[in-house]
A and B are shown apart, each in its own frame.
Chain A
Amino acid sequence: MELTLAIAIGVLTGSGVWLVLRPRTYQLVIGLSLLSYAVNLFIFSMGRLRVGAAPVLESGGAGNPADYADPIPQALVLTAIVIGFATTALLLVVLLVARGLTRNDHVDGREPN
Chain B
Amino acid sequence: MEWTRHLLIVPILLPLITGAALLLIDELRHTLKALLSLASTVLLLVTAIVLMRLADGVPGGSAALSSSYAVANWPAPFAIVLVLDRLSALMLTLTAVLALASLVFSTARWDRAGPHFHTLLQFLLMGLGGAFLTGDLFNLFVFFEVTLAASYGLLLHGSGAFRVRAGLHYIAINLAASLLFLIGVSLIYGTAGTLNMADLAVRLPNVPAEDQALLRAGVAILGTAFLVKAGLWPLCFWLPSAYMAAAAPVAAIFVVLTKVGTYVLLRLTLLLFGPETGDIAGFGGMVLLWGGMGTIAFATFGLLASQAMGRLAGYSVLISSGTLLAAVGIGDASVVSGALFYLVSSTLSVAALFMLIELVERAREPAADLLAVTMEAYGDESDKGEEHEDEEVGVAMPGALAILGISFGCAALLLAGLPPLSGFIAKFAMLTGMLNPDGLGAPAAIPGRIWLLVALVILSGLAALVAMMRSGIRIFWAPLEVIIPRVLVVEVAPIVALLALCMVLAVQGGAVLSYTDAAAQALHAPSSYIQSVLGAGHPPGVSR
Question: Are A and B interaction partners?
Answer: yes
**What is A's interface to B at a CB cutoff of 8 Å?**
20, 25, 28, 32, 35-36, 39, 42-43, 46-47, 72-73, 76, 79-80, 83-84, 86-88, 90-91, 94-95, 97-98, 101-102, 107-110
Known: A79-B138, A87-B148, A90-B152. A102 touches B183 (CB 8 A): no
* B contact residues around A87 at 8 Å (CB): 145, 148-149, 152, 171, 175, 178
* Closest 10 pairs between A and B when the two form their complex, measured CB to CB: A46-B190, A43-B186, A46-B186, A109-B165, A101-B161, A83-B145, A98-B164, A39-B179, A39-B182, A91-B171
Residue of B nearest to A86 (CB): B149
A32 with B176: CB separation less than 8 A: yes
Which among A20, A39, A83, A107 is the interface contact of B168 at CB below 8 angstroms? A107
Instruction: Report the separation of the CA atoms of residues A102 and B166 in the bound assembly, to the nearest whole angstrom.
Output: 12
Instruction: Report the separation of the CA atoms of residues A111 and B136 in the bound assembly, to the nearest whole angstrom.
Output: 44
A107 with B171: CB separation less than 8 A: no
B39 touches A (CB below 8 Å): no
Instruction: Report the separation of the CA atoms of residues A35 and B156 in the bound assembly, to the nearest whole angstrom.
Output: 25
B110 touches A (CB below 8 Å): no
Q: List 5 A-B contacts (CB under 8 A).
A: A79-B141, A83-B141, A88-B175, A107-B169, A109-B164
B152 with A94: CB separation less than 8 A: yes
Instruction: Report the separation of the CA atoms of residues A101 and B156 in the bound assembly, to the nearest whole angstrom.
Output: 13
* A contact residues around B135 at 8 Å (CB): none
Chain B: interface residue total (CB-CB under 8 A): 31
Which among A76, A79, A94, A110 is the interface contact of B164 at CB below 8 angstroms? A94
Instruction: Report the separation of the CA atoms of residues A65 and B17 in the bound assembly, to the nearest whole angstrom.
Output: 39
* A contact residues around B176 at 8 Å (CB): 20, 32, 35
* B contact residues around A39 at 8 Å (CB): 179, 182-183, 186
Measured between C-beta atoms, what is the minimum distance from A17 to chain B in Å? 9
B172 with A28: CB separation less than 8 A: yes
* A contact residues around B138 at 8 Å (CB): 76, 79
Instruction: Report the separation of the CA atoms of residues A88 and B190 in the bound assembly, to the nearest whole angstrom.
Output: 26
B168 with A25: CB separation less than 8 A: yes
* B contact residues around A98 at 8 Å (CB): 164-165, 168
User: Interface digits, B130-154 against A, CB 8 Å rule (1 contact, 0 not)?
Assistant: 0000000010011001001100100
B172 with A91: CB separation less than 8 A: yes
* B contact residues around A76 at 8 Å (CB): 138, 185-186, 189
Q: A86-B149, A87-B145, A91-B172 are in contact. List 6 more A-B contacts (CB 8 A).
A: A32-B175, A79-B141, A97-B156, A101-B164, A102-B165, A109-B164
Instruction: Report the separation of the CA atoms of residues A101 and B165 in the bound assembly, to the nearest whole angstrom.
Output: 9
Instruction: Report the separation of the CA atoms of residues A36 and B171 in the bound assembly, to the nearest whole angstrom.
Output: 14
Instruction: Report the separation of the CA atoms of residues A73 and B149 in the bound assembly, to the nearest whole angstrom.
Output: 23
Measured between C-beta atoms, what is the minimum distance from B35 to chain A in Å? 29
B520 touches A (CB below 8 Å): no
Known: A76-B186, A83-B142. A107 touches B149 (CB 8 A): no
* B contact residues around A108 at 8 Å (CB): 165
Instruction: Report the separation of the CA atoms of residues A25 and B171 in the bound assembly, to the nearest whole angstrom.
Output: 12
* A contact residues around B195 at 8 Å (CB): 72
